[in-house]
Amino acid sequence: MQINNSHPNLRINLAGIRLAHPFMNASGVVSSSPGLIRRLIVEGGCSAVVTKSITPKPRLGNNPPILVKLPCGGYINAVGLENPGKEIIRSIVSVGLELGVPVIVSVAGSSADEYLEVSIEAEEAKASAVELNLSCPHTEGYGLVFGQDPEATKYITGMVSSVLKIPVIAKLGPSDNIVKIAGKALEAGAKALTISNTIKAMIIDVYTGRPVLTNIYGGLSGPPLHPVAVRLIYEVYSELEPLIIGAGGVVNGESALEMIFAGASAIQVGSAIIDRGVVVLREILHEFEELLVKLEISDLGQCVGLAHRL
């Protein structure tokens, strides 16, 4: 690789969406309203923003406790797909249009028709892409039931992809069947995959003997998820080499580059924002750039999936 001390080229083309650098927020983290999306762009410097997962109608979500930090680092959450419904999409997307930053609308539903309904609204609102949340682990009847089933993944992804002109991204969660599920999503028309969502998990308070989350089950995110997410990305890339957006426990330049080496082209950050605020995105970007310079990597594109080629 060439020695290059100037800024490395971080630009990427994500299924036709041009991104100035690989870092965006992960769905569900400060992303449920126009005001919060504006903060992700202005204070966080995201190259694209991903909305909270949106269902056709408003959803109230679970009662607190819905989010707890774990003693081992990382979080467990059971927000429960609380969202204002598809009516919010236009005002959120218009913030991205105003500021010149692509908006990816995360879509959830309890049936293929609901995924389609929200996806159509996103396209009409001029979103740059939709991300199908096929992997929410803590809301009965939504997401995970589809994302763990290769045929359901294919059906929903296919239904949305055949109608939309904008790119469809399928967001998958941890599964031993990930390669098969990823293959079905791509076969059905997904242009990229986001890997990974949280892992279904729970915590019990030993002083009272009770599960802490009102919902009992939640999703594990943050650093404990990172090696699992790296494994999932590595497995999928080695079999299918698709366009991947990596998510799971990215907290600094190194944990981001690890995902790129495993096969991701872009990165989403969630839990680190809870710890350090939206400015963490700028901090990680800065560290990432410095790391590339130190490693003499001049072009990000060269090192996507690097670990598979050495």
Q: Which residues bind another protein (CB under 8 A)?
A: 28-36, 38-39, 52, 61, 63-71, 75, 77, 79, 82, 203, 205, 207-208, 210, 212, 214, 273-274, 277
CB of 253 to ligand FMN, least distance (A): 14
CB of 274 to another protein, least distance (A): 5
Phi-psi region of 116 (alpha: psi -120 to 50; beta: other; left: phi over 0): alpha
β pairing state of 204-205 and 210-211: antiparallel
Residues forming the active site: 136
Report if residue 23 touches ligand FMN, rule: CB under 6 A. Answer: no
Contact between 193 and 184 (Cβ < 8 Å):
no
Report if residue 27 touches ligand FMN, rule: CB under 6 A. Answer: yes
Question: Which backbone phi and psi does 86 adopt, to 5 degrees?
Answer: -65, -20
> Which three-class secondary structure string do you get for 173-194?
CCCCCHHHHHHHHHHCCCCEEE
**Dihedral of alpha carbons 139, 140, 141, 144, sign:** positive
CB of 208 to another protein, least distance (A): 4
CB of 191 to ligand FMN, least distance (A): 17
> Whose Cβ is closer to ligand FMN: residue 222's or residue 305's?
222
Q: What is the DSSP code string of 64-86?
A: SP-EEE-TTSSEEE---S-B--G
- Which residue number places its CB atom closest to ligand FMN? 28
Contact between 191 and 15 (Cβ < 8 Å):
yes
Total residues interacting with ligand FMN, rule: CB under 6 A: 28
Residues 6 or more apart in contact with residue 13 via CB below 8 angstroms: 19
Strand partners, 247: 268
Tokens standing for 133?
């949340």
Q: Which stretch binds ligand FMN (CB under 6 A): 120-128, 209-217, 257-265, 268-276?
A: 268-276
Report if residue 222 touches ligand FMN, rule: CB under 6 A. Answer: yes
Report if residue 28 touches ligand FMN, rule: CB under 6 A. Answer: yes
CB of 4 to ligand FMN, least distance (A): 29
Q: Is 171 helix (H, G, I), strand (E, B) or coil?
A: strand
Report if residue 139 touches ligand FMN, rule: CB under 6 A. Answer: no
Q: Which stretch binds ligand FMN (CB under 6 A): 3-11, 39-47, 97-105, 220-228?
A: 220-228
The item of ligand FMN, another protein, none sharing an interface with residue 269, based on CB under 5 to 8 Å by kind, is ligand FMN
User: Residues 68 to 127: which contact ligand FMN by CB under 6 A?
Assistant: 75, 77, 79, 81, 106
The secondary element (H helix, E strand) that includes residue 163 is helix 150-163
Phi-psi region of 202 (alpha: psi -120 to 50; beta: other; left: phi over 0): beta
Which residues are at the interface with ligand FMN (CB under 6 A)?
Answer: 26-29, 52-53, 67, 75, 77, 79, 81, 106, 133, 136, 171, 197-198, 221-222, 225, 247-250, 269-272
